[in-house]
């Protein structure tokens, strides 16, 4: 949650732990000793004090035990529903799941429109490599993730090279209200990282020639609040 979830003063893993019991596949032991019932979770100290344990109910546990690939399938569905394509495999690898990112998530018309609006170059670093006439490692990033009701429209898009796209979706970089690059304090590395990230901190991105295609303020604000991992 700290690495991939929204930035919060305090992460609350006890909230889904408690609330999942209403979804028909999750059961809790010793929950009856807690002071709160229903969907509202009790204080964390009570969960610890009464040794509340949770997991799949008997039927569903037997199902995922018998069909091991079902675990990977469920993990893939959860990742596709909540995270952008660029970091789904990173999360899956870290958690030990075997998934195959689905190409159906990508909208070719969105990519084409965004790259054209930004003159086929990365809005952060200006990378614009082509192989003959085909752009290489240049991608269209959703500012507000598609999985979180972000529309496939140019004002919700940025043309970014593959490195800055992943960094943007990971929360390593973001934009301030003046469309300047902000870099997370968590970003570190050698000279290449300095050149690719810190050298662009505080600089305005290369905006589209047409003002109607500028990043939408509400989308940028969403990314700053929900994805960006603190600034410099």
Collapse the DSSP code of 141 into the 3-class scheme (helix H, G, I; strand E, B; otherwise coil) and give the result: strand
Higher pLDDT residue, 158 or 46?
A: 158
What single DSSP character describes residue 33? G
Q: In terms of Cα–Cα distance, which of 21, 59, 61 is closest to 41?
A: 21
What is residue 101's predicted lDDT score, i.e. its pLDDT? 59
Percent of the chain residues topping a pLDDT of 70? 91
Which pair of tokens denotes residue 75?
């993990």
Phi-psi region of 196 (alpha: psi -120 to 50; beta: other; left: phi over 0): alpha
For 146-159, letters b (16+ CB in 10 Å) and e give: bbbebebebbbbbb
Locate all alpha helices (DSSP H) within 30-84, ordered by sequence: 44-49, 58-66, 69-82
Measured from the Cβ of residue 4, the count of other Cβ atoms closer than 10 Å reads 17
pLDDT digits (tens, 9 = 90+) for 132-182: 988 999 999 999 999 899 999 999 999 999 999 999 999 999 999 999 999
pLDDT digits (tens, 9 = 90+) for 52-102: 888 888 888 888 888 878 888 888 888 888 888 777 777 777 777 777 755
């Amino acid at each position: 949650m700290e690495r991939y979830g929204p930035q919060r003063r305090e992460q609350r893993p006890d909230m889904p732990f408690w609330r999942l019991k209403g979804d028909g596949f999750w059961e809790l032991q010793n929950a009856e000793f807690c002071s709160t019932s229903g969907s509202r979770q009790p204080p964390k100290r009570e969960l610890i004090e009464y040794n509340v344990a949770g997991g799949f109910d008997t039927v569903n546990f037997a199902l995922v035990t018998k069909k091991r690939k079902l675990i990977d399938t469920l993990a893939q569905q959860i990742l596709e529903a909540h995270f952008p394509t660029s970091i789904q495999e990173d999360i899956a690898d870290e958690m030990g799941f075997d998934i195959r990112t689905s190409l159906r998530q990508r909208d070719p018309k969105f990519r084409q429109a965004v790259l054209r609006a930004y003159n086929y170059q990365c809005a952060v670093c200006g990378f614009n490599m082509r192989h003959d006439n085909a752009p290489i490692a240049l991608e269209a990033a959703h500012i507000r993730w598609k999985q979180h009701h972000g529309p496939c429209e140019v004002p919700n898009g940025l043309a970014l090279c593959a490195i800055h796209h992943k960094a943007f979706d990971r929360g390593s970089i973001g934009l301030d209200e003046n469309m300047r690059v902000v870099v997370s304090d968590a970003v570190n590395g050698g000279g290449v990282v300095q050149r690719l990230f810190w050298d662009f901190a505080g600089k305005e991105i290369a905006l589209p020639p047409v003002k109607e295609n500028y990043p939408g303020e509400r989308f940028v604000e969403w990314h700053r609040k929900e994805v960006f991992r603190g600034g410099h």
